Amino acid sequence: MQMPALTLQDYRRLAQERMERPVWDFFEGGAGEEHTLAANERAFDRVRLRPTVLRPAAGPDTTCKILGRTWAAPIGVAPMAFHTLAHPDGELATVRAAAARGLPVTVSTFAGRACEELAAAAAGAPLWLQLYCFRDRSVTRRLIERAERAGAEALVLTVDAPRLGRRLRDVRNDFRLPPHIVPANLDGGGFSSPAAHARAELDPSLDWSAVPWLRSVTSLPVLVKGVLTAPDALRAVEAGVDGIIVSNHGGRQLDGVPATLEALPEIAAAVRGACPVLIDGGIRRGRDVLACLALGADAALVGRPVLHGLAAGGEDGVGGVLDILLEELQDAMTLTGTRSLADILPDLVRTGEPW
Ligand SMILES: Cc1cc2nc3c(=O)[nH]c(=O)nc-3n(C[C@H](O)[C@H](O)[C@H](O)COP(=O)(O)O)c2cc1C
Ligand SMILES: CC(C)CC(=O)C(=O)O
């Protein structure tokens, strides 16, 4: 009998057993020598939690409010292309699993399932759309209109990808999507090589004027994803964004940029509550979420582990991954004497040597 998966690492192993090597490499890989990719996870190994004892915190309140909506916990699913590569149900399974737990999903521009069916599956849980800006802005505008009509609640503009990073695993594998894997919310073709398609179609000249442009075509809140420094965070606030996602794209863009957990404190200090600050990259345990909040984030988004759950068991697998994170977060809150997210203050963490 197979042992049940108890950690996100268990799900990672289960997924690897099931996936073909080039697809695994596309999911897992990062840019260049993958130093930043590794640093994202390693940064959490330097965190030391400082519990407060004899402050009963059983059944801690994990709920949080982001952009006026209550999330069951400060945990969401980061946008990732082509969940259909991991499981035929793709994003439908992901959204169902997250929504059943009161958690939000950000759907990628390159989602493999239609945003209308995803919005229906979200059944009232928040659903956001991630945007890549195309050279042909009418493509982006049509995508926004479609998602808005379907019920998407916010737009997440990815700002760290004027060109796609050098993902050497994909280059070596000459990675191609199988013909049946296509972005369900985009028209046209030429999608088989994600790298070549991105190079040809995404707008390399995107600048801050994208934010007022988005405002002119939609009334949805706009977040920017991919900010790593305080000056850029301040520019984002000046541009009037509704939220900032501290992200290095899971180490897939520029190798050599810092781990997101390292970048977070200066950004949170600069933003000073002007808008929500979210983070993604390397979050693999419930207590990692606690560390993100202590260092200034309002919520944390999880990427690859969701694809691992999906590959291992479809909707149930994603549910399993999210349940582990939720239970580990409750565990960490109870054992640190943290009754609600308001109790999570910078003093909860110190930095030490990696475990
Ligand atoms: C397979 C894969 C596809 C991704 N696709 C997108 C995408 O379409 N748009 C985007 O903004 N970020 C994309 N990302 C980056 C994630 O949103 C996120 O920043 C990153 O995966 C978080 O790190 P983690 O995987 O360590 O949790 C992708 C990441 C992976 C692993
Ligand atoms: C299809 C790609 C542009 C999406 C992706 O792999 C990424 O954004 O990391």
ipTM: 0.99
Q: 249 alpha carbon to ligand 1 midpoint, in Å?
A: 5
Q: Which of the listed residues 249, 283, 292, 318 should we mutate to test ligand 1's pocket, taking the one with most ligand atoms within 8 A of CB?
A: 249
Nearest ligand 2 atom to alpha carbon 198: 3
- Beta-carbon contacts of 3 under 8 Å, excluding residues fewer than 6 positions away, are 10
- Give the atom of ligand 2 at the shortest distance from the alpha carbon of 252: 9
- Write down the H helix ranges in the chain: 8-18, 21-28, 35-44, 91-100, 115-122, 137-150, 168-173, 194-201, 210-217, 230-238, 260-271, 286-294, 304-336
Asked whether 333 lines ligand 1 (CB < 6 A), one says no
Question: What pLDDT was estimated at residue 3?
Answer: 76
Burial environment of residue 323 by CB neighbours within 10 A (0 to 12, 13 to 18, 19 or more): middle
Ligand nearest to the backbone CA of 107: 1
From the list 83, 87, 197, 249, the catalytic residue is 249
- Measured in Å, residue 181 CA sits from the centre of ligand 2 at 14
| 342 Cα–ligand 1 center, Å | 29
Ligand number with the minimum distance to the CA of 25 = 1
Coil, strand, or helix at residue 30?
coil
Q: Is the CB of 302 under 6 A from ligand 1?
A: yes
Check pocket membership of 191 for ligand 2, CB cut-off 6 A.
Answer: no
249 catalytic, yes or no? yes
Cβ neighbours, 10 Å, residue 234: 16
Q: Give the pair of three-digit tokens for residue 251.
A: 């180490």
Best of 252, 302, 325 for a ligand 1 pocket test (most atoms within 8 Å of beta carbon): 252
Nearest residue to 190 (alpha-carbon basis) of 252, 118, 254, 139: 139
pTM of the predicted structure, to 2 decimals: 0.98
Q: Which ligand is nearest to the CA of 130?
A: 1
Residue 254: partners with Cβ closer than 8 Å, 6 or more residues away:
31, 32, 36, 160, 165, 248
Q: Please, what's the b/e burial string for 161-193 (b: 16 or more CB within 10 A of its CB; e: otherwise)? A: beebbebbbbeebebbbeeebbbbbbeeeebee
Mean pLDDT for each consecutive 10-residue tract of the chain (355 residues)?
88 98 98 98 98 95 98 98 98 98 98 98 96 97 98 98 96 97 95 94 97 98 99 98 99 98 98 98 98 98 99 98 98 98 97 95
Ligand 2 atom with the smallest distance to the CA of 250 is: 9
Atom 2 of ligand 2, nearest CA residue: 194
3-class state of residue 228 by DSSP: coil
CA of 259 relative to ligand 1 center, distance in Å? 14
**Ligand 2 pocket check for 275: Cβ under 6 Å:** no
In 3D space, the residue among 324, 352, 334 whose CA is nearest the CA of residue 9 turns out to be 324
Given this model, what pLDDT does residue 143 score? 98
What amino acid occupies position 218?
Answer: T
Quote the pLDDT of residue 1: 56
